[in-house]
Amino acid sequence: MNDETLFGRVSRFIGTLRHCQHLGIQAVSARKNELVVELPYTDAIVGNPETGVIHGGAITTLMDTASGTVVICALPEFELCPTLDLRVDYMRAAEPGHPVYARAIVYRVTNNIIFTRCEAYQADPDQTIAHCVGTFMRIGPEATPKAYRELITGGDAE
Amino acid sequence: MSLSQEMRKALQAGDYQKLIDAVPYARTLGMGSETFGDEVVFRLPRNEDNLGNPILPAIHGGVIGGFMEMSAMISLMMSQETPRLPRIVDFSLDYLRAGLDRDTFSECHLTRQGNRVANVIVTAWQQSRRKPIATARAHFIMD
């Protein structure tokens, strides 16, 4: 699959996640085993109204979305993969008023499990805001209804 | 880091709901709480805007995480003698069952409170407390 096809799939997938629409989370770029998504800064995700700093929970949602979606960039067929666990380390507070990006990679795929790593950052990718490792369970393409699979893969450029 | 005036007031009054409402992100999720004497159960009412997987449908895993993280922070703030703002250091989350499109609850246990670091365990469930949908462990630095 080329990057354009992957980007179409991940964008359509994120588009079906209602909470991501609510927060404005969007795919930025996709390639094999790697995905970048963006969380725009809004008042709705503020944790501390005194400082305007984003709540850790919104960062967790961003990283869960990136890690759960990057599996699409690693599998030949679209499968929904439920999250088994996530471990998030918060390295520094995000700068208020600016979007946060999350770059997720798949570093190992087995018959049952997908292992991911993800880093959240703002303007400078080397200034990590949060780091996350996750594991996702493979339940097979058949576990996802055909109509939904076609919704995600149907728009693939031939 | 500073606490807002609303947070200070809520802490002094021991009012969980006021403290929750002082946090914009908690209002976005629609979080609430119920107190039973000394105990508190946090509530995340069913909310379409919190859904992820449209097939089941299920609550977005990040929302469940955010709700649990928020629960841990609120109960930690309430357990302090003087108002202090916890900063989260890390968060480890196990998803045990799909969080379906219904009300979700959580409770917290302060495992260890040191001078600077606190460890909190959080459990979340829906229909039955005996069937948790997720468990989490968090470390906080106390400013």
Q: Which domains does chain A have, with CATH numbers?
A: 3-153 (3.10.129.10)
Please give the residue that has the higher pLDDT: either A50 or A115: A115
- Average pLDDT on A74-102 reads 95
Q: Is B62 on the interface with A (CB under 8 A)?
A: yes
Cα gap B25→A100, rounded to integer Å = 16
pLDDT tens digits for range B61-83: 999 999 999 999 999 999 988 88
Complete edge-to-edge strand list for the sheet that includes strand A26-31 = A26-31, A34-39, A100-109, A113-121, A128-137, A83-90, B86-95, B132-142, B117-125, B104-113, B39-44, B32-36
Q: What are phi and psi of B29, to 5 degrees?
A: -75, -25
Residue with tokens 């503020």: A46
pLDDT tens digits for range A13-68: 999 999 999 999 999 999 999 999 999 999 999 998 889 999 999 999 999 999 99
Subunit contact A88:B89, Cβ cutoff 8 A: no
- Average pLDDT on B7-24 reads 90
What is the ipTM, given to two decimal places? 0.94
List domains and CATH numbers for chain B: 5-142 (3.10.129.10)
Confidence bin at A158 (pLDDT 50/70/90) = very low
Amino acid (1-letter code) at residue A136: F
pLDDT for A80 beyond 70: yes
Chain A closest CA to B138's CA: distance in Å? 9
A52: CB partners within 8 A, 6+ apart: A46, A96, A97
pLDDT, position B29:
97
Cα gap B106→B132, rounded to integer Å = 9
pLDDT, position B135:
98
Contacting residues of B for A130, CB less than 8 Å apart = none
- Scanning every residue of chain A, which has its alpha carbon at the shortest distance from the alpha carbon of B74? A47
CB A59 within 8 A of CB A90: yes
Please give the residue that has the higher pLDDT: either A103 or B14: A103
